[in-house]
Structure 1
Amino acid sequence: MLAYIIGVVLFALGICVSVALHEAGHMVTAKAFGMKVRRYFVGFGPTVFSWRRGETEYGLKWIPLGGFCDIAGMTALDEVTPEEAPRAMWRFKTWKRTVVMSAGSITHFILGFVVLYLMAVTMGLPNLTPVDTSPVLASTSCARSATTEQQVQDTSCPPGTPRPAQEAGLMPGDKILSVGGKPVASWTEMLAAVQATSGRTEFDVVRNGQNLALIVDVPKVQRLTSTGVRDVGMIGASPVQPAVTTQYGPVAAIGATFSFTGTMFAETAQRLVQFPERIPAVVSAIFGGERDPNTPVSVVGASRIGGEAVERGIWVLFFFLLASLNFFIGVFNLLPLLPLDGGHIAVVWYERVRDWLRARRGKVAGGPVDYTRLSGITMVLVLIGGAVTLLTVTADIVNPIRLQ
């Protein structure tokens, strides 16, 4: 239990640090371009302590959930003092404002990449893509009927159950080359060939570099398959499982991490597209339905999973989740919706394109976008975001996703 609590706290702390660094990304780039940064605080609520260095006040708040960066004049509607007006953010060039507003997401991407790189050179990167294993035996067991999911997962062998592979002389480490004269190159091909046969069948194998021909008496048993319960051939054997992670040297890890990051970006984009259609499953889980592990989770749910990972000693999963969450937050924050940074970036580029079109027609540049006209849409999106957050937090409390 203590390990679980420590894991939850560590994961929550990792998220808080990530969000705080997100705001630091805005601050650093804004200062680099000469914008006026009034305040940078970690957390929310009452102030624990603060100090002033130069023109910026830095501090810590009591509620350690993220932070904020107060840049003068982020929009033309923001109040600024006469002293701040020349350095108001909205007065700067479009590309500079874009860099500042996207710096938070870029910080998340860098953090995720760094976490993955450190994993690659220490504990290894997870193998996300299922790999069809080679037809090499890891162990032999029995051939028995299993018509339910529970029976399939039961690996016990009742007395008297036939052991075709073992009785024919097949041994762990044997690589199967063909079944009944049909060549097989993978465990999937071997399994299909075995399921389609019965009776005395010749298996060509390689053992310690020597080719052997063994006769296996393949029985027909009832098994639960993807198409239902049916009679299939079975010899009672398990494959050598591929490595769960792959470790790299310091140089090779760079390319591997970039490749892995690309895969995670693709999966993140796919999850964002599927996000709306998975909300009903979250609602169902709140009212007693089975929780789909692919449904969205809140910070609470992610922290709980992180705690379970630490409790079981699965640190690879802990850091993988932390990197995944950074990528998700980074991509989500760039969506062109207010009040997200992506929404502000969209407004900035709308102004830029609009003024370019006006210049082509001999007109002067238009004024800054009036954000009050967008307040209705912004409020709706805030309410939707709040509702989704409330739903996921509730589901993660009453019916959380658990590690299997």
Structure 2
Amino acid sequence: MGAYILGVLLFALGIAVTIALHEWGHLTAARACGMRVRRYFIGFGPRVWSFRRGTTEYGLKAVPLGGFCEIAGMTAQDEVTAEEAPHAMVNKPWWQRIIVLLGGVIMNVLIGFIIIYGVGLSNGLPNPDADPAPVALETVCAADQLPDGSLARCSGEGPAAAAGIQPGDRVRVVEGQQITSFGQVRDIVMAHPGERVSVEVERNGQPLTLHIDVQSVQRLDADGTLREVGAIGLTGGTGPDAVKKYGPIEGIGPALRFSGQFFDATVKGLLSLPGKVPGVVASIFGAERAVDSPMSVVGASRVGGEMAERSMWTMFWMMLANLNFFLALFNLVPLPPLDGGHIAVVLWEKLRDGVRRMRGLPALGPADYTRLMPLTMTIAALLVSLGVVVIVADVVNPVRLFG
């Protein structure tokens, strides 16, 4: 229990640091472009603690579910003093405004990459050049499964051992199908109870074809009903080269490649997010919560605690890296009040004024954000509502990765 609580606290701290660094990215970019940063706060709601340094107030607020970096003159409707005017965001070149708006996104991407790079140096990353064929780890007797989910007692050697499979064998082909994961072996065997299957393995670099008499056993299906399937008494896993540790220099390339894969998966996850919201709502009222369901800070921290409890620190850090990539991409959605929405407005201003110049007309300057307020308030309300729904679901029916 202590490890679980530690994991929850550590992941929550990781999220808080992520938020702080996201806003720090905006702050650093703003100062580099000569803009005035009024406030830098972590959290929302009542002020808990703050101090002032120069022209910026730094502090913490009571609700640690976000943060903000207030820059003078972020929009044309933001009142600025005469002293602030030269440093107002709207009075800076368009490209500087976009750099500042991208500051948080860039910071999240860097954090995600640094975490993956650190994992590659400490524990290793999946090796793209590894042999994908699974390795036989242990041969055992094939037992029936009991209604409570446990396995019945069995004795003697199982079908795999009887056929000659040995620990360390690489399973290449089963019933003519090329094998790249042990899950494939399991699925093929389960579909052939009481039959003989051919298995091609590699032992000490040499191919060997074996014939295994699949035993018929009872197993629980997804509905909790016992049904007859095949089993051969074999456990397997990835080979010793599936994960590779890297040095400081050679680890940069693999970390970049793995970050790209994470980014691709995150894009797909973000696109599928709207379709998963009904399932989250249904889970509040007792429906099964999907493993890939969206999670809030509450749910993610709870899963982080489960990983820490099982010493799955690589997965712990990878989930935090994935969170940073998600925040980066989510903030790029071109809708206000997200960073992407503000970037879209700046680009619209640039495009609009470019067209006007071609027509011999003067530039109109910064956009009137009051026209965007209905859209901004609607999106903000939807985001808050979604956040509340996911938090409630994470409390009453959390995502359970480990049952």
TM-score, length of structure 2 as denominator length: 0.85
Contact 1:143 1:219 in 2 (8 A): yes
2: CA distance, partners of 1:99 / 1:183: 51
Q: Spell out the pairing of 1:187-226 with structure 2 (5 A cutoff).
A: 188=184, 192=188, 207-208=203-204, 216-219=212-215
- Between stretches 205-214 and 33-42, larger displacement belongs to 205-214
Pair 1:378–1:239, CA change in 2 (3 A): same
**Secondary structure, counterpart of 1:252 in structure 2:** coil
2: CA distance, partners of 1:60 / 1:214: 66
2: CA distance, partners of 1:97 / 1:201: 65
2: CA distance, partners of 1:302 / 1:58: 27
RMSD across aligned positions (CA): 3.5
Distance apart, 1:61 and its partner CA = 4.0
Please name the residue that 2:84 is paired with: 84
Please name the residue that 2:236 is paired with: 239
The aligned amino acid for 1:5 is I
1: CA distance, partners of 2:191 / 2:338: 54
2:76 matches 1:104 = no
Please name the residue that 2:95 is paired with: 95
**Secondary structure, counterpart of 2:49 in structure 1:** strand
Alignment deviations for residues 81-123 of structure 1 (CA, whole Å, 9 cap, x no partner):
1121222111111111000011011111111111111111002
- Between stretches 237-246 and 28-37, larger displacement belongs to 237-246
Query: Larger Rg: 1 or 2?
Result: 1
1: CA distance, partners of 2:353 / 2:299: 45
Please name the residue that 2:137 is paired with: 138
2: CA distance, partners of 1:39 / 1:118: 32
Paired-residue identity, %: 46
Please name the residue that 1:261 is paired with: 259
2: CA distance, partners of 1:177 / 1:39: 60
Please name the residue that 2:158 is paired with: 163
Pair 1:340–1:251, CA change in 2 (3 A): same
Contact 1:11 1:307 in 2 (8 A): yes
Contact 1:196 1:232 in 2 (8 A): yes
1: CA distance, partners of 2:67 / 2:385: 22
Please name the residue that 2:356 is paired with: 358
Contact 2:43 2:61 in 1 (8 A): yes
2:400 matches 1:399 = no
Please name the residue that 1:122 is paired with: 122
- Between stretches 20-29 and 124-133, larger displacement belongs to 124-133
The aligned amino acid for 2:96 is K
Distance apart, 1:282 and its partner CA = 0.5
Distance apart, 1:268 and its partner CA = 1.0
2: CA distance, partners of 1:282 / 1:390: 11
Contact 1:179 1:194 in 2 (8 A): no
Alignment deviations for residues 354-383 of structure 1 (CA, whole Å, 9 cap, x no partner):
010111111111242111111111111111
- Between stretches 77-86 and 125-134, larger displacement belongs to 125-134
Alignment deviations for residues 233-262 of structure 1 (CA, whole Å, 9 cap, x no partner):
654323343467442222221111111111
Distance apart, 1:129 and its partner CA = 12
2: CA distance, partners of 1:87 / 1:178: 67
Contact 1:142 1:157 in 2 (8 A): no
2: CA distance, partners of 1:6 / 1:179: 44
**Secondary structure, counterpart of 2:154 in structure 1:** coil
2: CA distance, partners of 1:381 / 1:362: 36
**Secondary structure, counterpart of 2:47 in structure 1:** strand
Distance apart, 1:334 and its partner CA = 1.1
- Between stretches 13-22 and 242-251, larger displacement belongs to 242-251
Distance apart, 1:333 and its partner CA = 0.7
Alignment deviations for residues 307-355 of structure 1 (CA, whole Å, 9 cap, x no partner):
1211222111211111111111111011101011110100000000001
2: CA distance, partners of 1:317 / 1:177: 28
Please name the residue that 1:380 is paired with: 378
1: CA distance, partners of 2:87 / 2:202: 75
Of residues 305, 308, 315, the one that matches 2:306 is 308
The aligned amino acid for 1:139 is E
Gapped regions of structure 1 (runs ≥ 5):
none
Pair 1:40–1:278, CA change in 2 (3 A): same
Pairs aligned (count): 396
**Secondary structure, counterpart of 1:3 in structure 2:** helix
Q: Spell out the pairing of 1:2-41 with structure 2 (5 A cutoff).
A: 2-41=2-41
2:270 matches 1:285 = no
2:296 matches 1:298 = yes
The aligned amino acid for 1:346 is A
**Secondary structure, counterpart of 2:67 in structure 1:** strand
Please name the residue that 2:53 is paired with: 52
Pair 1:102–1:191, CA change in 2 (3 A): closer
- Between stretches 72-81 and 165-174, larger displacement belongs to 165-174
Gapped regions of structure 2 (runs ≥ 5):
none
2: CA distance, partners of 1:282 / 1:183: 38
Q: Spell out the pairing of 1:297-336 with structure 2 (5 A cutoff).
A: 297-336=295-334
2: CA distance, partners of 1:279 / 1:272: 12
Pair 1:370–1:199, CA change in 2 (3 A): closer
1: CA distance, partners of 2:7 / 2:310: 10
Contact 2:40 2:70 in 1 (8 A): yes
Distance apart, 1:167 and its partner CA = 3.1
